[in-house]
Amino acid sequence: MSGYYLIIIVTMLVSWLVSSRLKSKFEHYSKVYLRNGMSGKEIAEKMLRDNGIYDVQVISVPGQLTDHYNPANKTVNLSEGVYMQRNAAAAAVAAHECGHAVQHAVSYSMLQLRSKLVPMVNISSTLSQFVLLAGIAVMVASRSIQNPSGNTTVLAIGVLLFAVTTFFAFVTLPVEYDASNRAMKWLKESGTVTSEEFVGVQDSLRWAARTYVVAAIGSLAQLLYWASILFGNRRN
């Protein structure tokens, strides 16, 4: 289990470093005020209109970096630090979340796949750790001279459950990158931000995307660890 804890520690450390860098970037670009004076809410509403989307509502939600698009009730949810702010960081976040709304409107395939996976991921993320630990216990307890590998059925189920969450993490990557690309393209082509402000938008979104990359790699590392125990044990 020491290898597993090492993976967790390294993943948490890298995640913390990237998250800290992301926060510092947003703090920096929150001081770069937009020349057009538009708030995050106004930018979001303009991007939706420019893309022919009139059935999505832009609302404010409490918290920091809690921004998200909800396809169930068609709402772009902007945090308090984005909704009324008039800076490059707010523009980046507002446009990115609207990028998801555009994906929904045009039936972007990876977003559709991600949405279909959500119910499965909710179950697998809740059960996988418990099943994996139970699988290790069952495997060790069932070892015998006749069966030195022990019973690995429960462990195999745990690995499959964890594989679902890992797959979801990697499906999320193109969804997030595509939303950012849509946001940057619109912000630049619409003239909503100046060239100087666009640099801040681009830098903010790139660091935000890296948090998803770290999460996906960390999940894959954990999956490979559990799989190595399962298949390595079966060869014994």
User: What is the sign, positive or negative, of the torsion defined by CA atoms of 74, 68, 204, 88?
Assistant: positive
Query: Tell me, what amino acid is at 56?
Result: V
- Listed residue (14, 6, 33) closest to 200, CA to CA: 33
**Dihedral pair phi/psi, residue 53, rounded to 5°:** -105, 115
Which one is catalytic: 42, 45, 97, 176? 97
Is 34 exposed, middle or buried, given 0-12, 13-18 or 19+ CB atoms closer than 10 A?
buried
Catalytic residue status for 80 = no
Contact 56, 47 (CB under 8 A): no
Task: Compute the C-alpha angle 81/84/88, nearest 5°.
Answer: 70
Query: Cα–Cα distance between 43 and 86 in angstroms, integer?
Result: 9
Q: 87 in helix, strand or coil? A: strand
Locate 198 and state its tokens. Answer: 């666009």
Chain centroid to CA 205: how far?
13
Contact 155, 140 (CB under 8 A): no
* Residues recognised as catalytic: 97
